Amino acid sequence: LQATEPVNILLVDDQPAKLLSFEVILGELGENLIKAASAQEALAQLLRHEIAVVLIDVQMPDLDGFELAAMIREHPRFRDVALIFVSAIHLSDLDRIRGYEAGGVDYVPVPVVPEVLRAKVRVFADLRRKTRELERLNAELEQRVAERTADLEASRAALQELNSELEARIDQRTREREQALAQLFEAQKVDTIGKLTGGVAHDFNNLLMAMLGSLELLKKRMVGDASAQRLIDNALKGAERGAALTQRLLAFARRQQLRPEPINVAELVGGMRDLIARSVGPSIDIAEDFGSPLAPVLADANQLELALMNLALNARDAMPDGGTLTISAQEAMVEGGSDLGLAPGRYIRLSVADTGVGMDEATRARAAEPFFTTKGTGKGTGLGLSMVHGLAAQSGGSLRIESRLGEGTRIDLFLPKAERSRARRIRDSAQTTFDLAGRAVILLVDDDALVSDGTAAMLEDLGHEVIEASSAAAALSLLDASPDVDLVITDYAMPGMTGIEFAKLVRDRYPTLPIVLATGYAELPPGLGEGLDLPRLSKPFLQRDLANIIARQRRPADQAEAGRLKTSAC
Ligand SMILES: Nc1ncnc2c1ncn2[C@@H]1O[C@H](COP(=O)(O)OP(=O)(O)OP(=O)(O)O)[C@@H](O)[C@H]1O
Ligand SMILES: [Mg+2]
């Protein structure tokens, strides 16, 4: 109902003439006039229309006006209908009150003054319009409040969703951070243990060197004394076992001297088949799966054999009642961000799987730690997997252990594929050719007197003349003073100047003088020294290793490969 819209006004009177006169008087108000000649008719009209004002004649034949008013008021729907009484007879005050009690609102005496009647009806009609307008505004307001409430509710829900999303992301990031920290901690721990064991192993290596060298010479001098020979053999065996142990330690510490070359793993495994079969015993079946022809890997063949042997022995120990040992290899694509810690690219995955007892998660997590063993004292050193892990890492690959208690274990060795250019360079190394006949003058450079003396004794025993220098600087001045030196053997780790730096200076001054680098481990930063193509002697070495490498300096380069240096095995 708009402010200008007409409202319904019900005129109730039993005399048609009077109804007509009301109609005339109120006509100019512009409202809708509805007429009723009786109380019943009036009620019927009230039910049919929405009436704003009822004009009631107080005296009608079947119902008096007050009774009609009372009936109207009783009905809840008509509570706010305005009632105006019209009365011909003079009304006493009592009647007036009765009219109000019945819910009437106003009185118009007869004779009706048209202006008065119009004024009163207009007031109530306007009132109704204003009330309607207010109600409409109110409803609209409520509607808008409801809409805003709904909007607010929606944005609150959205906010809540965002909030829980954020919380989930924070949780995720926290977990990732914790994982990264744990990994970092693990890596630092392994790194620290590596440095420690590497350092200890290096020193031990030098000591073993001295022992092995002296024992070998002693053995030669005691020929004929059987009991002395037995004792020396015993001591040699002990020292050799010690050397094998330090090799494993150096391997774990990624500091062993590797000779990477392209290797066909299927061939390598083929060559070890009998050895593995004998080592694991008849109760274990051995299966191989190399599928389609594989690209060669770049690794140290001896060390890789050693690693496979270690894995096979672990598998044997895990299958006391027999089972199957499967060695397989296939090409593997490593994606960025994999937990292998490898640069993305193509690798060869060499796997050794068994059907043995498996490991629980705690054992699996620690299995590659050095000295971690579940095999009891005297049975395992706990260095097998550490060595394999170190070898994989030093070769630019990675180790993965998958195991389930009671189901078995699979160890994956990811190794880099050999690139052609790299492969050729390796074959071309060990370049120096030199014609050395019979007795040679050898300049021996080592800061460790124990090692130096032992090596000198071995060289002299081989019939060579030895000049010893305890530092690179001393060696340089000795070289300048003795131009008849045929070969230089230098240690790598020396205070003041490293063996490589020294070798570079020597190479500059005496380009044809062969230089052999003796190292206990691969301390050399990758790339450094490679340009020099220095043949390397792995500490600890035996007299025959010395003899071999000296002989190699006499041979043309293409034959040099035939004599691979001894690399100690476990
Ligand atoms: N294939 C396997 N199945 C079940 N457990 C294994 C397997 N390989 C390794 N382990 C567990 O990991 C531990 C460490 O292995 P690792 O080869 O480093 O040392 P080890 O075998 O105990 O000693 P060592 O190799 O010096 O003889 C083992 O003691 C064993 O608990
Ligand atoms: Mg082992």
Q: How far is CA 475 from CA 283, 393, 480, 481, in A?
A: 59, 36, 9, 10
Q: Please, which pLDDT band fits residue 563 given cuts at 50, 70 and 90? A: very low
Q: Is a pLDDT exceeding 50 seen at residue 170? A: yes
The ligand that comes nearest to the alpha carbon of residue 367 is: 1
Write down the residue that tokens 């035996």 correspond to.
542
Ligand nearest to the CA of 316: 1
Please answer whether residues 388 and 310 qualify as being in contact, where contact means their C-beta atoms are separated by less than 8 angstroms.
yes
Nearest to 296 by CA among 255, 346, 256, 341: 346
Tell me the DSSP string of 7-72: -EEEEE-S-HHHHHHHHHHHHTT--EEEEESSHHHHHHHHHHS-EEEEEEES--SSS-HHHHHHHH
Q: Residue 537 in contact with residue 516, Cβ under 8 Å?
A: yes
Atom of ligand 1 nearest to the CA of 367: 12
pLDDT digits (tens, 9 = 90+) for 279-325: 999 999 999 999 778 889 999 898 999 999 999 999 999 999 999 99
Coil, strand, or helix at residue 344? coil
Q: Does residue 363's CB lie within 6 angstroms of at least one atom of ligand 1?
A: yes
Question: Ligand 1 centre from 91 Cα, in Å?
Answer: 120
Q: Work out which ligand 1 atom sits closest to the CA atom of 248.
A: 26
Ligand 2 centroid to residue 314 C-alpha, Å: 5
How far is ligand 2, taken at its centre, from the CA of residue 528, in Å?
Answer: 34
Q: Are strands 323-334 and 345-354 parallel, antiparallel or unpaired?
A: antiparallel
Q: Which residues contact 304 (CB under 8 A, 6 or more apart)?
A: 263, 265, 268, 297, 391, 415
What are residue 12's DSSP bridge partners?
Answer: 36, 56
pLDDT of 142 reads: 95
pLDDT band at residue 527 under the 50/70/90 scheme: low
| Residues 430 and 557 sit within 8 Å (Cβ to Cβ) | yes
The backbone region for 534, taken as left when phi is positive above 0, alpha when psi lies in -120 to 50, beta otherwise, is beta
pLDDT in tens, 421-445: 443 333 333 333 333 446 888 999 9
Instruction: Identify the band that residue 494 occupies on the pLDDT scale cut at 50, 70 and 90.
Output: confident
CA angle centred on 327, ends 322 and 332, rounded to 5°? 145
Ligand 1 lined by 370 (C-beta under 6 Å):
no
Residue 496 backbone class (left: φ over 0; alpha: ψ -120 to 50; beta: rest): left
Find out whether the peptide bond into 114 is cis, omega within 30 degrees of 0. no
Contact call for residues 281 and 321 (beta carbons, < 8 A): no
Residue 248: name the closest of 388, 364, 445 by CA. Answer: 388
Q: Worst-scoring range by mean pLDDT, 64-78, 353-367, 374-388?
A: 64-78
Q: Does the beta carbon of 242 lie inside 6 Å of ligand 1?
A: no
Looking at residue 9, its pLDDT comes to: 96
Q: What is the edge-to-edge ordering of all strands in the sheet holding 82-87?
A: 32-36, 8-12, 51-57, 82-87, 106-109
pLDDT for the residue 374: 94
Q: Quick check: CB of 367 below 6 Å from ligand 1?
A: yes
What is the spatial distance between Cα 402 and Cα 499, in angstroms, rounded to a whole number? 42
Question: Given this model, what pLDDT does residue 524 score?
Answer: 57
Other CB atoms within 10 Å distance of the CB of residue 406: 8
Give CA–CA dist 221/511, Å, rounded. Answer: 39
For residue 454, the CA-to-ligand 1 centroid distance in Å is 37
Closest CA to ligand 1's atom 9: 314
Any ligand 1 atom below 6 A from CB of 296: no
Q: Quote the ligand 2 centre to 212 CA distance (angstroms).
A: 26
**In the predicted structure, residue 40 carries a pLDDT above the cut 60:** yes
Residue 369 has pLDDT above 60, yes or no: yes
Pairing of strands 8-12, 32-36: parallel
Look at ligand 1, atom 27, and give the residue with the nearest C-alpha: 380
Q: Is the CB of 324 under 6 A from ligand 1?
A: no
Confidence (pLDDT) at 88: 67
* Helix H or strand E segment including 542: none
Whether the per-residue pLDDT at 172 is higher than 50: the answer is: yes
Q: What is the whole-number distance in angstroms between the Cα of residue 311 and the centre of ligand 2? A: 7
3-state secondary structure at position 401:
strand
- Mutation test residue for ligand 1: of 249, 308, 379, 385, the one with most atoms within 8 Å of CB: 385
The token duo for 71 is 């009936």
Q: pLDDT tens-digit profile of 452-489?
A: 888 998 998 888 889 999 999 989 988 888 778 889 99
pLDDT band at residue 264 using 50, 70 and 90 as cut-offs: very high
Distance of CA 153 to the CA centre of its chain: 38
Candidates 128, 64, 131; CA nearest to 102 is 64
| Residue 248 contacts residue 288 (beta carbons within 8 Å) | no
Give me the pLDDT at residue 35, please.
95
* Residue to probe by mutation, ligand 1, list 373, 379, 381, 386, most atoms within 8 Å of CB: 373
Any atom of ligand 1 within 6 Å of the Cβ of 314: yes
pLDDT band at 449 (very low <50, low <70, confident <90, very high): confident
Question: Which range (103-117, 396-410, 420-434, 516-530) has the least confidence?
Answer: 420-434
How does the average pLDDT of the chain come out, rounded?
84
**What string of DSSP letters covers 428-466?**
H-S-------SS-EEEEE-S-HHHHHHHHHHHHHTT-EE
Q: How far is the CA of 265 from the centre of ligand 2 (A)?
A: 21
250-254, 390-394, 444-448: range with lowest mean pLDDT: 250-254
User: What's at 119, amino acid-wise?
Assistant: A
285 contact partners, CB below 8 Å, separation of at least 6? 322, 323, 324, 325
Beta bridge partners of residue 465, listed in sequence order: 441
Q: Given the CA of residue 354, which atom of ligand 1 is nearest to it?
A: 1
Centroid of ligand 2 to alpha carbon of 233 (angstroms): 27
CA of 315 to the centre of ligand 1 (A): 8
Top mean-pLDDT range of 2-16, 100-114, 224-238: 224-238
State how far the Cα of 539 lies from the Cα of 521, in Å rounded to an integer. Answer: 8
Cα–Cα dist 431/558, whole Å: 8
Mean pLDDT of 131-154: 94
**pLDDT above 70: percentage of residues in the chain:** 87
Nearest CA to ligand 1 atom 12: 367
d(CA 485, CA 330): 51
The per-residue pLDDT for 318 is: 96
Mean pLDDT of 119-130: 92
Q: What is the pLDDT of residue 209?
A: 85
356 Cα nearest atom in ligand 1: 3
Distances (CA, A) of 477 to 240, 472, 481, 484, 505: 36, 9, 6, 13, 12
Q: Which of 59-68, 167-176, 189-198 has the lowest mean pLDDT?
A: 59-68
Q: Looking at ligand 1, which atom is closest to the CA of residue 570?
A: 26
Would you say residue 561 has pLDDT above 80?
Answer: no
Task: Decide: 399 in ligand 1 pocket, CB within 6 A.
Answer: no
Residue 558 pLDDT grade (very low, low, confident, very high; cuts 50, 70, 90): very low
- What confidence score (pLDDT) does residue 426 get? 33
- DSSP characters for 239-254? HHHHHHHHHHHHHHTT
195: pLDDT confidence band, cut at 50, 70 and 90?
confident
